[in-house]
Amino acid sequence: MLSRVAPDLEHAAAAIAARGGQLGSRLIFVDETESTNDDAKRGAKDGALHGTVWLAESQTRGRGRQGRSWFSQRGENLLFSVLLRIACAPSRVPPVSLACGLAVRDAVAAALGDDASVLVKWPNDVLIKRPSDGRARKVAGILPESTVAGARTAHIVVGIGINVHTRALPEDLSDIATSLAIERAERGFQGAPDRASILADVLAALDHDVEHVAHRGLGLVHDRLSRYDAAFGREVDGGANGVLGIACGIDPDGRLLVRNAEGIIKHVSSGEVRVRMI
């Protein structure tokens, strides 16, 4: 159900239906909410169906990984959460998160018109590399939150934020963040990105990959993940432990592979380290 729809999202339901998938067949739009992930988790408890999507123009308490806040001006970006009623081992949630990152990457690349410049940064960010300075800046983030029943996940809520129409960022963010509008202008492209099409593309890609990854791992998408791996060759920072080594790929379980100074490859789980970008 949609209410108070922004003009550029009026055809969102039709765009989603045209892709022919399950995800997004139930679409709940609100002008403002604290967090679409929180809305989705409440909906899950109340019996919302697999594939239900909560979409907001503004979040007052939007968050990213490790509780970081997510900056977004009202009506400029895509802020949504998807309910996945997938029963899988909790260890499969990190691979699912990476598959979601790939889905967002593909949709962003299509909207940007520049496939090679859009990358996935382990564990859950999407970056665009700017031709003018070679720096990779964050354009989207993914926040998966799962509920476990026994030894299986009862459901996974995937929160996604994509910077679309933003044309100016605060000074403290302009070197690390970007938007599709900014990057299209950098490349001399005309016209505004279409939020409804981006949303539909993300959901279609999730429909194609995410359940397979939840049950069988990253094998189906691992080559694509490696091709667009922003962390590859970068230093990995272990916080108080200093540099742990150099990122050298992602394993089939979604762990970052890090080669230390002695040449030994470690398998590192999400949340333990930070990948240093230029």
The one catalytic residue among 92, 121, 138, 255: 138
The one catalytic residue among 45, 167, 227, 276: 276
Q: How many beta carbons lie within 10 A of that of residue 179, not counting itself?
A: 26
Q: How many beta carbons lie within 10 A of that of residue 114, not counting itself?
A: 18
Report the chain's C-alpha Rg in angstroms: 18
**Cis link prior to 252 (omega < 30° from 0)?**
no
Q: Are strands 53-59 and 27-33 parallel, antiparallel or unpaired?
A: parallel
The contacts of residue 40 (CB under 8 Å, 6+ apart) are 48, 52, 54, 81, 82, 83, 157, 159
**DSSP state for residue 256 in the 8-state scheme:** E
**DSSP state for residue 65 in the 8-state scheme:** G
234 assigned to active site: no
152 assigned to active site: no
Which among 191, 194, 169, 190 is positioned nearest to 179, based on CA atoms?
169
Residue whose entry in the numeric block shows the structure tokens 């593909």: 106
The one catalytic residue among 26, 65, 85, 224: 65
65 assigned to active site: yes
Q: What residues are labeled active site?
A: 65, 138, 276
